[in-house]
Structures are given as C-alpha cells and as structure tokens.
Amino acid sequence: MIKPLSSDAIIHKYVVTQENSNGELKKITFQNDKDFNFAYDIMDELAKKCPDKLALLHISNTKKERRFTFKEIAAYSSKTANYFKSLGIRKGDKVMLVLKRHYQFWFCMLALHKIGAVAIPASSLLVEQDYEYRFQAADVHYVVASDSGKIAEYIEKADRTVGMLKEKIIVGASREGWRNFNEEMEQFSDKFERPVSQEEKMSGEDIALMIFTSGTSIHAKLAAHNFRYPLGHFVTARYWNQVDPDGLHLTISDTGWAKAMWGKIYGQWLCEAGIFVYDFDAFSAKDILHMVEKYKITTFCAPPTMYRVLIRMNLKDYDLSSLQHVTTAGEALNAEVFYKFYEATGHMIYEGYGQTETTMVLGAIQGMEPKPGAMGKPNPLYDVAVMDKEGNLCPVGEAGEIVIRTADGAPNGLFTGYYNEEEKTAQQWHDGYYHTGDQARWDEDGYLWYEGRIDDLIKASGYRVGPFEIESELMKLPYVLECAVTSVPDKTRGQAIKASIVLTKGVLATELLKKEIFGYINENLASYKRPRIVEFVKDLPKTTSGKIKRVEIRRQDWMAN
C-alpha cells in the first residue's frame, strides 16, 4: 500500500476518490475546478503550506546539484511571469519551450500558467523544417530555448523563413539576437497576483498547454489541453507511479514530450512529492543507477527501451533499496524484460498506457497484480471500451480499437481537440467516443492486451514516429523513385525504423549510395525519426488501387526475425 496523503493535503479540495479494500481506485470525481489553475491553486498554496519542503532536485549534465523548495519554485515562477509579461506575453499567447531537462522549464511552465499564456513544450531533437511547421501550425510568437547544440541555430533559420517570432529567449550562454533568460528574469519581483480583470483572468476551460503528437500524416497534430488537465494526472502519479509524498520521483523523459507532463510536474506535485531531474545529454544506464543509489529515488518510470538496457547491467552491484515502485509507458513491454527485471530487483514493472491527447488511460495501478505483457485495466477516470470497425463493442478475446466514451462529457485529462484542426478532431472524436487508433483485446479478468496500431505508426525507443513524414523527406532525393518506411524488430529499441527504397532507372544500388542516403538522413531528420536500416528493392507491394502495403513489408520483416 502506498503512503496515505496527509489530511490537509491540498488535493483534497479538488478530488474525491473511492477505493476498494485493496486500495484499488474504483471512482474519482472532481470539485471546485471551474477556475482551476495549477500554478496558483497548487504550487502557490504548497509554498504557504510547506515552504521548506523539497520540490525539485535537479542534477545538471555536469552533475551540478540544485535543490528547490516549494517556496522557491513559486517565487521563481512569479519572477518569470513578471519577466514574460514585461516582454508582452499575455493570456492566450503561444510560447514554445525547447528546454531539454533544464530546471528553468519548471519556472516557465508555471509562469505561463499564471499569465494564462499557452505553453508548447517541444523536443530538443527538432531540426529547421520541424520548427518552421510548428511555428506556423501553433501560431508561436515567443520561444524559450536551450543554448545546447544547434537548437538556437535551427530556430533562427526557421524564423528567417516564417518571420513570426516577437522574442527569442535563451537559457544558458548569451547569443546575439536573443534575450538571456537567467540574467533578465532575476531582475523581477517574486510576487505575481492572480489576475481578476475580465480580460486577464482564466477559466478551467481555457487552453493552457498544447503538445505536438506524431501520426501517419506528414505533419504532427497539436493536442490542446485546458487548465483542468493537470488534475487528471492525480491518478497517474498517485495510483500508477505510486509516488511517496516524502520521496523523490524520477521519470526519464525530455520535457518536450507529453510523458514529461505525466511524470515530471503535475501529478507528482499534486501528491506533494519531490521530483528528481537529471539533465543528461545521452542516456547512461550506469549514471541513472548511480543517481537512484545516491539520491535514494523512491519511484521510477522509464520507457521499455531503457529497461531493456538496464536488465543487461549487473543490477546487484547497485544499492536500489530505496526504490518502492517502478513503472513504464511509451510502448508495449515484453514479458521477458518484466521477468528479468523482477529477478534482479524484486520489483514488478507496472505498465501504463495513454497518449499525448490523454493522461494515463490504462495501467496496472495500486491494488492490481501486473500481468506481464498486458496494458492493465482502465483508469476509472475514463470510460474505456473496445470497438470494432462497425461500431460494435467487442467481447472478451476479440481485438478492436480502444475508445473512450464521452457522451456524458470529457473527463479532466482528455484533450479538447487538435488546434485549428476541426476535421482531424472530428475524425477521431465522433458519435460520443474518442478513438485512440490503437487496437487491443480484453481478457476474462478485465485487462487489456495491446494488438498494434490501426495505422502504420512506428514506436521506436519510446518515440511515436509517422512513416509518411520520413518517406516525404527521402523522396526529395533525385534517385529515389519510391520508398516505404516501416518498423523492424530491435532488441534495444523494441522497434527500429527501416526504409525500403526503389531507385530510379539506371541508378546502381551500391554501398556508397547507401552511405550517402544515411548522410542525408542524419542532416535532415531529427534523430528519433532516422531509419537505421536502408534496403534497396526492385518494387514495393501495393494494393489494387496503387497504395503501398506497408503492412506486408512489416509482416515479412517481423516473421523473418
């Protein structure tokens, strides 16, 4: 059983739960959330209730340690809000944050919530054309970015093309044409009053956050979440992560992905737990294990890819006795990894499932016994069903699409729609159901088992990648006649990306040409989108209407392996 929340925990004002005798959540309802704002109603209140309690323990890529209390986090968020407001940022303005795992991310997120501006976290792996599209799709006029790598350079190039940015703010070393966040923010007051004017005050239904999600189309969609969205993550943190209010939680995720919202800010602080952040440049299993050992991490979450690496380590060389609970999400976890990790540590890995559009929808939560390979049971926050193509609900054992019933209203945690994409929203959300696009089947115990994506989405190293975007980039090469991007089995990543290429007539399929293609890929695609395998083929399998049958390529590769 997880440690109970204190009777004076702030979350009790907003959430009412019902559990069975095993502590399993059976029902959750929300109250007093009409004008809920996480920055004011949770963080500022925590600064009053437990000002000296550790909120964030941050370790930089050089291993520099910084500790922030709830009082300090609230103060820095107010300083940042005043700073942003001085730059002209107002309610509804779109602000992109490309901050890796820098501690300034937390200041910025809360500051934007206080102003009522829309935070748009973005991956540090993006390249120039990614920014061009995202600036235009999201109406971005402000960007706060890390000085790391080529991030600022790519943003500058994109801005020269689209010309939308009013201010560029850099975290780290000064750069010409950019404001310096660290130097300028410190000059402002650490007091910021909640807006009361009709023009500035916020409702729980206003948009607070937008996150890009990948799919099978060339461009990512932009999922919009309102100010009540953080409340949905109470279940994520309390019943799935099972965070300890007096402990430290570590989720491995860049802040540019929705998973950071799951495990690095909202739910953990709703439970009044400390958050541990390691701002690494490259994943090192040894480093992560050393952090768990040194800082006494109590709860841990990582994608299956990283567990596959961890089980190859001699885990008994590390003191992991502080760990109380471990979880995973991002892609299906194979049973072999589950058993090997359990054998080495004594901890069962509790799997969870959700999307950029949601909080945790399915999972093995408190009171449940995980079934290796299963997604878990529905979060009581969501009315989950499995539906066939004709709209009929599937019986036990029959695969269908995971859907969420919304006829009686959308729960806190479900997105409000795709920004400026009414047609795409309607394609996935209609007739009283939100359609996830993922297939699964029920078992007799009420657990769901993942079957695969309805479309051809690839999940590699925990990232969701659409093949059409990669194919479109490869088709820019003059000697590529046709191509298809699919997944292949990979022991480390779960899935790797493969490009099957048909060359134009007269072009020889040589290793030198393959090397040239890999060079082009590395220059023009974000690292998580890059094919690891390039295969030259004479033709591609197609339907009678001429559509490429990616599923056939994928099936052959998976059967061969």
252 Cβ contact list (under 8 Å, min separation 6): 283, 288, 301, 302, 303, 306
Model confidence over 500-511: pLDDT tens digits? 999 988 999 999
Indicate the length of the chain as a whole number: 561
Model confidence over 307-364: pLDDT tens digits? 988 988 899 999 999 999 999 998 778 778 899 899 999 999 999 999 999 999 999 9
Model confidence over 533-558: pLDDT tens digits? 999 999 998 754 355 788 889 989 98
Alpha-carbon distances, residue 263 vs 238, 266, 290, 335, 381 (angstroms): 11, 7, 20, 23, 18
Closest CA to 430 of 454, 451, 467, 404: 404
Q: Averaged in consecutive runs of 10 residues, what is the pLDDT profile of the chain (561 residues)?
A: 90 97 95 98 99 99 98 99 99 98 99 99 94 97 98 98 98 97 98 96 98 68 98 98 98 94 99 98 93 98 89 92 96 82 96 96 96 94 96 94 96 98 96 93 94 75 76 88 90 89 93 97 94 95 64 88 75
Query: Residue 216 has what pLDDT?
Result: 40
Alpha-carbon distances, residue 444 vs 196, 369, 391, 397, 447 (angstroms): 52, 14, 21, 8, 7
d(CA 465, CA 221): 12
d(CA 110, CA 403): 32
Yes or no: say if 258 and 236 are a contact pair by the CB < 8 Å rule.
no
Neighbours of 108 (CB within 10 A): 28
In the chain the domains, ranked by start, together with CATH numbers, are 66-227 (3.40.50.12780), 458-560 (3.30.300.30)
d(CA 53, CA 272): 9
Yes or no: say if 450 and 304 are a contact pair by the CB < 8 Å rule.
no
Say if residue 85 is exposed, middle or buried (CB neighbours under 10 Å; 0-12, 13-18, 19+).
middle
**Alpha-helix residue ranges (DSSP H) falling in 335-474:** 335-345, 422-428, 467-474
Neighbours of 270 (CB within 10 A): 27
Encode burial over 494-519: b for 16+ CB neighbours within 10 A, e otherwise: bbbbbbbbbbeeeeeeeeebeeebee
Q: How far apart are the first and last CA of the chain?
A: 41
